[in-house]
Homo-oligomer: A and B are copies of this chain.
Amino acid sequence: MCVTNDRVVAFQGMRGAYSEQACRERLPEYTLLPCRSFEDVFSAVEEGEAAVGMIPVENSMAGVVSDSYDLLAVRNLHIIGEHYLLVRHSLLGLPGADLEGIRAVYSHPQGLAQCQAFLRRYSWTRFSVYDTAGAAADLVERGNPADAAVASELCAGLYGLKVLKRDIQDCRMNTTRFLLMARDETTPPPAVACKTSLLFEVRNIPAALYKCLGGFATNGVNLTRLESRPVPNSPWAYHFYLDFQGRPEQPSVQHALDELKFFTTNLKHLGCYQESRKPEMPEGDPAA
């Protein structure tokens, strides 16, 4: 591995993206490598351009980021950490714009989904673009005062835009969970609380999912997430993504995994990593 790339973190998006904010919070000493797509983030890490990739997997309001989950299945990076980011959206416009004159709003589909209650008050046309920060940057390029973007307030400063409305997200605890991805697996120090992530398909037997979860229940291993996604090109077959508290070396986890193997196919260990705390509710938040 090239020494110069040891402290580079890849993320999807442009300057001002929420993924950039997550990188800055979690890895403040790292150099940032913006990538156009999630695939490019995975490739940057696989090819050594970056030591770590930071990818969003779930938002507390909008649910899973499907593309990220699907890449965990087909690419071969390991999860080495998780990070929770408190997301606060702003409506941004050109310096001369005002709320009454807006006709169209641009953002990432998740950005639009997280401000549904606010956006429903207006009959603006909604356009989904690949990135919240890209939506902000494009406002300047198009120069139309009837256009607005849902993005971070950080983008207002970066791109010279006006904040038309702050904190437009539906929920004051709008949080996104990110995963840190690397080529090599890590083993967290013995003293820290860990999570482990797995991917599997259930065998075609009666009550298969129930049986898969049995080893965890009877061995007292706490599941924190179970998510199903369609298997590409296998209609109505599902992968399951499972997160649990603990590490594979623990006897209770070993027993649970032994049982799991019996009822699954294509079981893939995605990683074991230190569990992160979810952010606290912000004080003095104006949203109800």
Contacts and interface: CB of A to CB of B under 8 A. Distances in A.
A137 B173 CA distance: 38
Interface string A207-218: 101110110110
A39 B120 CA distance: 10
A232 B117 CA distance: 11
A206 interface: yes
Nearest to A108: B128
Contacts of A128: 109, 127-129
Contacts of A278: 235-236
B63 A236 contact: no
A103 to B, nearest CB: 15
A175 B278 CA distance: 37
B226 A216 contact: no
A185 to B, nearest CB: 26
B63 A230 contact: yes
Copies of this protein, total: 2
A136 to B, nearest CB: 16
Closest 5 CB pairs of A and B: A128-B128, A207-B217, A210-B217, A60-B235, A173-B235
A214 B109 CA distance: 37
A109 B112 CA distance: 12
Interface in A185-236: 206-207, 209-211, 213-214, 216-217, 220, 222-223, 226-230, 232-233, 235-236
Nearest to A109: B109
A183 interface: no
B226 A217 contact: no
Contact of A209 (B113, B174, B211, B226): B226
Contacts of A120: 39
Given A62-B66, A63-B230, A109-B128, A223 B235 contact: no
Contacts of A63: 66, 229-230
